[in-house]
Amino acid sequence: MQARYAKPRPEPATVKAVPKPATGARGRKAAPKPIRARGRKTRRGTVRELHKACSAAPVVYLALLDLAGRSTVCTPTRETLSAATGIPRLKTISAALTALEKASWIRRAHVPVLVGSKRTATLLRIQILGKGRYAPSTGRFT
């Protein structure tokens, strides 16, 4: 007589623990974090924070103020900013503009230039936010 061997059974599926939702002080669900538009901060950073993000950013900001004159909007090219600041690398100018935008000092928009119905180029439209007087004691523009 032959012995019958039982077929090996698959191992039971392990049950993973489901993490509990985050709760506040009184056991209620924590409020969801507010959504920020395109990574912009809610408050404007100081000059020191801006310099830490990109050392060329304060220089580019001053060049933008000079190019804008009395207006808060200007449309410079990166080459124009390079000539105005003395920074030869266009990559550095772009990094400075990105740091200024993330720190909520400027707002950028790419505007298409149309001749008839044909798109010929794209302008960089920069709006300078909070343009005003510099307060050295706080390191902020007011």
Q: What is the pLDDT of residues 109-131, one digit of tens each?
A: 888 888 888 888 888 888 888 76
Q: What is the pLDDT of residue 91?
A: 94
Task: With H, G, I as helix, E, B as strand and everything else as coil, classify residue 67.
Answer: helix
Residue 135, pLDDT > 90, answer no
Q: What is residue 61's predicted lDDT score, i.e. its pLDDT?
A: 92
* C-alpha separations of 94 from 43, 65, 106, 134 in Å: 22, 17, 13, 24
| Confidence (pLDDT) at 41 | 44
Q: How far apart are the C-alpha atoms of 53 and 96, rounded to whole Å?
A: 8
Q: Could you tell me the end-to-end alpha-carbon distance of the chain, in angstroms, rounded to an integer?
A: 97
Stretch 13-21: mean pLDDT, rounded? Answer: 63
% of residues, the chain, pLDDT over 70: 61
Strands (E), 29-117: 73-74, 106-115
Higher pLDDT, 16 or 46: 46
Per-residue confidence (pLDDT) for residue 22, from 0 to 100: 60
Question: What is the pLDDT, as a whole number, of residue 95?
Answer: 94
pLDDT (0 to 100) of residue 81: 93
Contacts of 81 (CB under 8 A, 6+ apart): 60, 63, 64, 67, 87, 93
pTM: 0.60
Residue 65: φ, ψ to 5°: -60, -40
